[in-house]
Amino acid sequence: MNNKGFTLIEVLLSVFIITVAVLGLYNGISYSFNSIEKAKDKFVAAYLAEEGIELVKNIRDSNFVANKTDWKEGLTVCSGSYGCRIDYNDASLIANANSTEEKAPLWIDNGFYNYTASGIKTIFSRKIAISDVNADKIKVSIVVYYDNEEFLLEQYLYNWK
């Protein structure tokens, strides 16, 4: 006999192979999207940490421009265990009173992150800590918290005079 059709076993095997291939592609694409989202969050955390460093530098630089006798004026409020916070448009640091304030969420409004609770609440929070304070330098540590992760950035700032 000369049969020209497929047997049931051949059809089932073909369906199984196609199903495995499609599921493999789906898992790969799902993993890729998840990885992209994690990378995006890490980039945002890095930029928020860098912004924190720049805001602290701005306070130090303003002290030099104003010719203040203490170049660290306004920076030592972050010496406490809960650190402090600052918005992009603030000229001073605000000490965190407790662990709830330490991890207060940042909000995004018109592309800017802030603590004023306007706009959309984000997964990010930022803690600024200043340590190793002496006459010539301070150590600035920025921790950005997000999705049970932390991004740490540290930098030493020096007295220019």
Q: Across all residues in the chain, what is the average pLDDT? A: 89
How far CA 155 is from CA of 50, 52, 109, 158, in Å, comes to 10, 11, 28, 10
Distance from C-alpha of 64 to C-alpha of 43, rounded to nearest angstrom: 32
92 closest CA partner among 61, 127, 135, 55:
55
The per-residue pLDDT for range 76-134, each reduced to its tens digit, is 888 778 999 998 888 889 999 888 888 999 999 999 999 988 899 999 999 999 988 88
Residue 120, strand partner residues: 108
3-state percent helix, strand, coil for the chain, nearest multiple of 5:
40, 25, 35
- SS3 for 135? coil
pLDDT > 90 fraction of the chain, expressed in percent and rounded: 52
How high is the pLDDT of residue 1? Answer: 56
Answer yes or no: are the C-beta atoms of 135 and 125 closer than 8 Å: no
